[in-house]
C-alpha cells in the first residue's frame, strides 16, 4: 500500500516534534547534572555499579575527533555541525518513509543539543559513563550523542534491510 501525501506531511511534523523533544530533554538533563547535581565540582557520582555520572567537557566531535583548540576552531565546529544539522533537516523534508524520518529526527535533535552547548559554553557537556569494572565500551557521552548514534544505526539498518524496490512501492504517489 502506497503512502499518501497527507501521511508524509504528518510523518514530517512528527519528526520535527521528536527532534524538538529530544533537544529539550537533552538540555534539561544537562541542566540537572550541572545545576542541582553540581556534577562539574563533584566530578563523578556512582548511580549503579556499572553506570556513573562523570563530568567531561568534549571540545571535539564524535570520539574526540576535530578537537577545537581555540575560539576560531570552536566556531568552525559550530558552523560545521550546524551545516550538517541543516542538511539533516532538508533530508527530513525530502524523505517519505516514517522510519527514516524518525531516525533523522533523532539525529537532528541530538545535533541541536550539542550545537547549543558548543555555542554557549565552548564545549559539549558529557556525563554518561557506562563501564564494567575498568572496561568502558564507550567514551563518556550524553543523551544527544546516544540519539545521534541510535538514529544513524536505524538509518543503516533500514538501508540494508529495506530494498529499493520496497521503498519505491511504499512511496509511489507520495
Q: Which residues are catalytic?
A: 126, 145
CA 52, 23, 40, 36 dihedral sign is: negative
| Dihedral of alpha carbons 69, 70, 76, 81, sign | positive
What is the CB-side half-sphere exposure of residue 136 using CA atoms within 13 A?
11
Closest listed residue to residue 106, CA positions, set 13, 20, 28, 32:
20
**CB distance 71 to 118 below 8 Å:** no
- Residue written as grid cell 566556531: 75
Collapsed DSSP state (helix, strand, coil) of residue 35: coil
Amino acid at each position: 500500500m502506497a503512502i499518501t501525501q497527507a501521511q508524509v506531511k504528518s510523518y514530517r511534523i512528527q519528526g520535527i516534534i521528536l527532534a524538538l523533544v529530544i533537544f529539550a530533554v537533552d538540555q534539561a538533563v544537562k541542566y540537572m547534572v550541572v545545576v542541582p547535581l553540581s556534577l562539574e565540582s563533584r566530578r563523578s557520582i556512582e548511580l549503579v555499579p556499572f553506570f556513573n555520572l562523570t563530568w567531561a567537557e568534549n571540545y571535539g566531535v564524535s570520539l574526540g575527533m576535530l578537537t577545537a583548540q581555540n575560539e576560531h576552531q570552536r566556531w568552525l565546529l559550530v558552523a560545521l555541525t550546524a551545516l550538517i544539522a541543516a542538511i539533516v533537516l532538508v533530508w527530513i523534508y525530502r524523505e517519505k518513509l516514517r522510519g527514516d524520518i524518525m531516525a533523522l529526527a533523532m539525529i537532528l535533535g541530538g545535533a541541536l543539543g550539542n550545537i547549543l552547548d558548543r555555542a554557549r559554553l565552548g564545549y559539549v557537556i558529557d556525563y554518561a559513563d557506562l563501564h564494567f569494572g575498568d572496561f568502558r565500551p564507550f567514551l563518556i557521552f550524553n543523551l544527544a550523542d546516544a540519539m545521534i548514534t541510535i538514529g544513524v544505526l536505524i538509518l543503516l539498518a533500514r538501508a540494508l534491510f529495506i530494498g529499493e524496490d520496497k521503498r519505491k512501492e511504499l512511496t509511489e504517489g507520495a
